Amino acid sequence: MSNEKLLRRSPRTNSIVVTENGEKMSGRKQSPKKNSGKELSLDKASSGKKQKEHRGKCSLIGDPVPHDEAQERWHWRYEIKSKRSKHPRLTLDDDHDEDKVVWNVECHYTQAYIEGRIINLGDCVYVKGDGAKNHIGSVLEFFKTTDKEDYFRVQWFYRAEDTVMKDAADFHDNKRLFYSTVMNDNPIDCIISKVTVVQISPRVGVKFHSTPVSDFYFDMEYSVDYSTFQTLLTDCSLKGHELLSLPFCDSRPATPSDTSMENMSTCGSYKAKLALLDLFSGCGGMSTGLCLGAKVSCVDLVTRWALDSDESACESLKLNHPETHVRNEAAEDFLELLKEWQKLCKRYAVNNVGRTHKSRSLASGVSKPNKKSSNDDDIAPGEYEVARLVDICYGKTDKRGKRGLKFKVHWKGYSTSEDSWEPIDGLSNCEDSIRDFVREGFKSKILPLPGDADVICGGPPCQGISGYNRYRNVDSPLTDERNVQIVVFMDIVQFLKPKYVLMENVVDILRFDRASFARYALSRLVHMKYQARLGTVAAGCYGLPQFRLRVFLWGAHPKEKLPQFPLPSHDVIVRYWPPPEFERNTVAYDEDQPRDDLEKATVLRDAISDLPDVSSHETREEMAYDKPPETDFQQFIRSTRNEMTGSELSGTRMINLLYDHRPYSLNEEDFARVCQIPKKKGANFRDLPGVVVGADNVARRDPTKEQVLLPSGKPLVPDFALNFEGGKSRRPYARLWWDETVSTVVTYPDLHSQAVMHPEQDRVLTIRECARLQGFPDYYRFCGTVKQR
């Protein structure tokens, strides 16, 4: 673990970029090309010689721009010349950059003669590169130096493959370019010819079958920082939706007052009401946090729909969000269901039906299950009659594996326990029932149609990517079905066309398979004409007691404002970093930015010291707190639902009980081992009797001592602990400590390979302790077995 606190600082270098109007921009200048023409130039003498040889083909023409006018238009360049003339040894911030500014200007021109054609200021040109493709840029200046060399300043365009997307952009239009603010000076003989480039407006869901007559077009700006693709600012082109003034979108750090109970629960009126679809929702952590954050800025962001393949996770989400339509099914089936639902809605002419959001009580049954109908007894034995349709899904329709649309049928004369799923092909005589179901479902929005979901968030499965998976398929990653879910996520975005998209994944998405999945996700959004921004964010920087570095990808409709990432509010100890290629995606302060008001890092003691002692075999599902909150974090996390959201579930009691405070029960052998791990900082299996650690930091059995056995006859020190990571790991049977920030909480607290033991109690962390480390409020309850929770 590093002692650096780099997440408070930017890893990006701070050189100066001089814009066309003379403004200085922070951030290293970087050409979008590997060779931008400047790299093609020789030293000054040879470059001048080369220009003389080609004077007839490449030269500045016309009269020079009057000196006073030139100094006014390009004053920054003449200021640099003046400073260098007065101080010859003066070193500019970018003098060692490959794109350094040529300062010894003599005069400016407005035209150049290139290979028989006149090039004017503002024209777009091809510029020599070292590969098969020439580079493209817009001419900003023509000038002659005091050494009689002819130069031009160019503002570059990126091709899709020149951006962070690289090979993942192979399905983009070859004529599409991306505007940039990157510019540099190049010898004039690097220009090849004029090229036509036009600007168009990006439109989601519209294919450009024909563009204005031109060689290329551009509709977005690309910036290396946070791999940002953004709509070009034009007069009133952005709506600036109120969602984007949230703390998680603001560039300023959050302050304690931002998350106070007063701010979270006393909004007089909401600025906006937005519907959220949570894909791969788990038990709802991402969407819950997003909605709670929205309420800080008085935005009513509500999770209307959620999807996950894990049954217990879906039950947990239903329990805590009864207003949400929760579906327990595969994402591929959900997408097909959305397509079929759209067809049904069009078929039954529901465009004029008023629509409202109803609670989830109607999600799994548009019509609530009736008590036994008065006519139910009229059905003769052996006959079956459809009483009503109560749900819809997409999946297998027969034993042969055929897939299609299915309805859940409540049969007349039978109880709801006898409801069954039937393929739509078998309901050909139930046209009225289907029509009633569709119309009522459309009205209550049991499923989103294109445009219904304002925000889509989700974290596609990371197990096939994560470095914690020692068996991930490195050679053929797409053979792992879990990895394909990123494709499905983007397919759903493409179909529903939301205003905003927020995708989350592990930082290994930037390492695994040369970051192909991260590049693909960015490329899909940009190809759909969405704005996009990718950042790596550490949870510990925002007041959580775990480091948890994660990748977040924002997407925004071109008519909306692309959200920014919030700067850190808390100090944190860095545990690991993303790969160097993506260092400029790290959400952090630049080195010259003030950060004195950062709060101290939140540690384990701040999070769980107020919780009652429990044993490894605790069975109680709820208990009373035995002490008051001891820290601000505990005070916040113990808030009631009403205090956090300003609303209370109907029928819930305002009793402040503690739920899910029980650990996964250890087996006899593991419990015996845990009891012998010292209660001290850094303790782990290496502290057990019979273990020695060599100078190579490898743990081995002590050959001078007899092996200690447990009452069961198994060794006290198991072989898997000695063999894990070649014996160099300190994680097996490791205790966490009070003053530490936890690394990352994973799905299952496996003490064989993770540091998950309580500092002073002989057990792994409880469900509630893990939930607190993740930021779940104490009122949030979980369903399923202890292991599932």
Q: Look at the alpha carbons of 769, 772, 777, 781 in this order and tell me if their dihedral is positive or negative.
A: negative
| Listed residue (108, 281, 166) closest to 520, CA to CA | 166
- Cα 435 to Cα 68, 364, 390, 438, 729, distances in angstroms: 77, 17, 12, 5, 62
**Tokens for 742?**
């936890």
User: Which one is catalytic: 298, 430, 457, 462?
Assistant: 462
| DSSP-assigned letter for residue 607 | H
Rounded CA-CA distance 628/632 in Å is 11
What tokens appear for 319 in the block? 């329990």
Calculate the alpha carbon distances from 536 to 139, 593, 717 in Å: 35, 19, 38
CA 245 distance to own-chain centroid: 18
Spatial CA neighbour of 773 closest among 756, 754, 751? 756
Specify the 3-state DSSP secondary structure of 735: strand
The closest alpha carbon to 101, from 125, 126, 79, belongs to 79
Give the per-residue SS3 of 471-527: CCCCCCHHHCCCCCHHHHHHHHHHHHCCCEEEEEEEHHHHCHHHHHHHHHHHHHHHH
**What phi and psi values does residue 466 have, to the nearest 5 degrees?**
-60, 140
Alpha-carbon gap, residue 249 to 566, rounded angstroms: 6
Does the annotation mark 462 as catalytic? Answer: yes
**What is the rounded radius of gyration, in angstroms, for the C-alpha atoms of the chain?**
31
The tokens for 712 are: 């069961």
d(CA 242, CA 154): 37
Residue 318: partners with Cβ closer than 8 Å, 6 or more residues away: 324, 326, 360
Q: Which residues are catalytic?
A: 462
